[in-house]
Amino acid sequence: VGNGRDVDVVVVGGGIGGLANALALTRKGLRVRVLEQAHEFGEVGAGLQIAPNCTRILDRWGLLDEVTSLGVLPESIVMRDAIDGEVLTRLDLRDVERRYGFPYLVIHRSDLHGTLLRACRRAGVDLVNDVTVTGYEQAADGAVAVHAGGRERGAVVLAADGLRSVARRLLSDDEPVSSAYVAYRGAVPFEQVARLDVQPKDVVVHVGPRCHFVQYALRHGEMFNQVAVFESPKALAGEEDWGTPDELDAAFTATSEQVRAGLPLMWRDRWWRMFDRDPIDDWVRGRVALTGDAAHPPLQYLAQGAVMAIEDAWVLSEHVARLTGPAGGPTGGPTGGTTGVDWDGALAAYNAVRPLHCRRVLTTARAWGRLWHHDGERREWRNAVLRERDVHDYAYVDWLFGPTALTPGELPPMFPGYDGEPALA
Least CB distance to ligand FAD at residue 305 (A): 2
Least CB distance to ligand FAD at residue 374 (A): 20
Residue 34 or 88: the one with the smaller Cβ distance to ligand FAD is: 34
Q: Are strands 9-12 and 32-35 parallel, antiparallel or unpaired?
A: parallel
Least CB distance to ligand FAD at residue 163 (A): 6
Residue 21 CA: distances (Å) to CA of 27, 253, 337: 10, 43, 20
Residue 131 CA: distances (Å) to CA of 14, 35, 41, 128, 339: 11, 6, 12, 7, 26
Do 91 and 76 contact (CB within 8 A), yes or no?
A: yes
SS3 135: strand
Asked about 100 being catalytic, the answer comes back as: no
What phi, psi does 418 have (nearest 5°)? -75, 125
Among 305, 332, 355, 369, binds ligand FAD (CB under 6 A): 305
Q: Which of 100, 136, 216, 394 is catalytic?
A: 216
Residue 207 CA: distances (Å) to CA of 195, 261, 301: 23, 16, 11
Site for ligand FAD in 351-370 (CB under 6 A): none
Using the rule CB under 6 A, is 190 a contact of ligand FAD?
Answer: no
Q: Write down how long the chain is.
A: 425
DSSP 3-state percent helix, strand, coil across the chain (nearest 5):
35, 25, 40
Among 11, 26, 33, 49, binds ligand FAD (CB under 6 A): 49
Please, what is the Cα angle at 216 between 235 and 62, to 5 degrees?
110
Site for ligand FAD in 132-151 (CB under 6 A): 132-133
Residue 204 or 323: the one with the smaller Cβ distance to ligand FAD is: 204
Using the rule CB under 6 A, is 422 a contact of ligand FAD?
Answer: no
Least CB distance to ligand FAD at residue 307 (A): 4
Residue 135 or 330: the one with the smaller Cβ distance to ligand FAD is: 135
Annotated active-site positions, please?
216
Which residues of this chain interact with ligand FAD, rule CB under 6 A?
A: 12-18, 35-38, 48-49, 132-133, 160-163, 166, 183, 227, 272, 292-293, 300, 303-307, 309
